[in-house]
Amino acid sequence: MADHILVLYGSYRSDRTGIRLADYLVRRLGERGAVADLIDAKAVGLPMLDRMYKEYPRGEAPPAMAALAQKIRTADAFVFVAGEYNWGMQPGLKNLTDHFLEEWFWRPAAVASYSAGRLAGARANSAWHGPLSEMGMVVVPSTLTVGPITQTLDAEGRPVGDAGKSLDRAFTRFADDLSWWTEAAREQRERRDPPY
């Protein structure tokens, strides 16, 4: 059974360089046999959080929100592509994530961060661990940090130079870790109902 993984990306900028990392992850996960789908917050276009999906009466949530809820519920795992804005989380991705809660439960999440600078979004990467855990996901220990992103991935999300080779090497452990936790969570859900 192929792992179904959602790769979630949240930049709303006009010149989005982080999409390179999202495209890279979708392609590389697919090469490993996973079904990887990109969820682009800008394309989904949810409003600033007013009401969570679960707070709408049945059948009354905006269509884009209802469709995404179904995708989240049926996914095996998640990869959050985290840009760093002023040492913090990218607001577009955080807004998309906060529209849902129970839909995320009992599946693993991995974080891949990026920035234009050499710190590669490491502070945003770290900042995501607590919220994802609070939202019912198990955050895998392996992470990816990519920066400077334009010196690591070209416009099509293909690795370039020594930084790109380093990313390819790091990706293997990252993907192996996510795959292990994905299989473990799926098998546990099949054996036993979650406690809540």
> What are the sequence ranges of the domains in the chain?
4-191
Secondary structure (H, E, C), the chain: CCCEEEEEECCCCCCCCCHHHHHHHHHHHHHCCCEEEEEEHHHHCCCCCCCCHHHCCCCCCCHHHHHHHHHHHHCCEEEEEEECECCECCHHHHHHHHCCCHHHCCEEEEEEEECCCCCCCHHHHHHHHHHHHHCCEEECCCCEEECCHHHCECCCCCECHHHHHHHHHHHHHHHHHHHHHHHHHHHHHHHCCCCC
Calculate mean pLDDT across residues 46-73.
Answer: 97
Residue 196, pLDDT score: 84
Tens of pLDDT, residues 96-154: 999 999 999 999 999 999 999 988 999 999 999 999 999 999 999 999 999 999 999 99
* Mean pLDDT of the region 79-104: 95
0.75 surpassed by pTM: yes
**Per-residue model confidence (pLDDT) at position 89:** 93
The arrangement of secondary structure in 4-191, i.e. its CATH architecture, is: 3-Layer(aba) Sandwich (3.40)
CA-closest candidate to residue 128, choices 168, 78, 190, 183: 78
Q: Which pLDDT band, with edges at 50, 70 and 90, does 71 fall under?
A: very high
- pLDDT for 1 beyond 90: no
Q: Residue 9: which of 52, 35, 43, 46 has the closest Cα?
A: 43
Angle (CA) 92 124 194, round 5°? 80
Residues 6+ apart with CB under 8 A from 14: none
* 5-41 residue pLDDT tens: 999 999 999 999 999 999 999 999 999 999 999 999 9
Mean pLDDT in the chain?
96
Looking only at the bridges linking them, the beta strands covering 77-83 and 107-114 are: parallel
